[in-house]
Amino acid sequence: MAAIEIRGLEKSYPSTFGTRRIPVLRGIDLSVEAGEIYGFLGPNGAGKTTTIKCILGLLTPDKGEIRLLGRESGSLESRKRLGFLPENPYFYEYLSIRELFDFTGRLFNMAPARRRARVDEVVHLVGLEGRENTKLGKCSKGMIQRAGLGQALVHDPEVLILDEPFSGLDPVGRKELRDLVLSLKQAGRTIFFSSHILQDMELMVDRVAIILGGRISREGHLDELVSRTVRYYELVFEGLDEKAAAGIGLDVIRRGERMIARVETLEEINQKIRAVHGASGRVVAMTPLKLTLEDIFMEEVAR
């Protein structure tokens, strides 16, 4: 059973003067399997946040169907099993982190004893021990993101939806939050998140969808997408100077005693390896450089 299933999702907004409607989502189809991290990638204005708001019930779609854990997305039972971290979370600044978690538990009608125990669990889970009594108004951006993730976890949801969770974080904060999200996957949760920080997404996701102009332009398992195409090969060798390398048709960069040449095709790499050996050189390494998620994304945007 899919954790999130969307079929034919369409959404439009009225224009400034209400004379027409501007389409934002133009028939989104996607399926998120239970227990996976699913990345939702797209430029600003592509429809990422609109899709998320439709999943959460904050917006009503014009057309289409959304099912959460096998149930209609509008049902109370399915909503109770979701946790959500918005792109720019805003919390009451006079509350402490612990008070925020307790308040969230009250919203989900958790029993007092269970709520207190769960608040302690979540404080530990998101790495805020010793800082749980800090007022939210005095928290750093990284602490706010951790607190935001914590409030999404208080009711122990099966599915987490994160909208740009790494926005505004420094490299250390991104690494810490990335490790935390990966630990949640290890605990069996399903995570659907949007981001424009491609490096973080490439390190985390099982599958990815690219949305452009309100449509899914590409979707698949990350390892399949990035390993399907080799951009070029790097041939590393030694025992030849630049002149000898040029004589066998290699444009090289010297790194110490070694030379590095870019070779475009597999057929050519075999020829150049034989040529290096024939010129009394020694091949040290041959590395295929494959597409990255950024390469794939830029290809889709350029179409």
Q: Residue 145 contacts by C-beta under 8 Å, 6 or more apart in sequence? A: 85, 89, 165, 169, 173, 177
For residues 92 and 107, give the distance between their C-alpha atoms in angstroms, rounded to a whole number: 15
pLDDT score of 238: 92
In tens, the pLDDT along 214-235 reads 999 989 888 777 766 677 889 9
Please compute the mean of the pLDDT values over residues 62-73 and round it to a whole number. 91
For residues 196 and 41, give the distance between their C-alpha atoms in angstroms, rounded to a whole number: 6
> Architecture of domain 2-226 in CATH?
3-Layer(aba) Sandwich (3.40)
Of 127 and 167, the one with more pLDDT: 127
Q: Is the pLDDT of residue 148 over 90?
A: yes
Give residue for tokens 């699913």.
38
Q: Is the pLDDT of residue 133 over 80?
A: yes
In tens, the pLDDT along 247-260 reads 999 989 888 889 89
- CATH 3.30.70.980 residue spans of the chain: 231-290
Indicate the fold that domain 231-290 takes in CATH: Alpha-Beta Plaits (3.30.70)
Query: pTM here?
Result: 0.79
What percentage of the chain reaches a pLDDT higher than 70?
99
pLDDT score of 228: 60
| Exposure class string for 203-227: b at 16+ Cβ within 10 A, else e | ebbbbbbbbbebebbbbeebeebbe
- CATH 3.40.50.300 residue spans of the chain: 2-226
pLDDT score of 232: 85
Q: Is the pLDDT of residue 288 over 90?
A: no
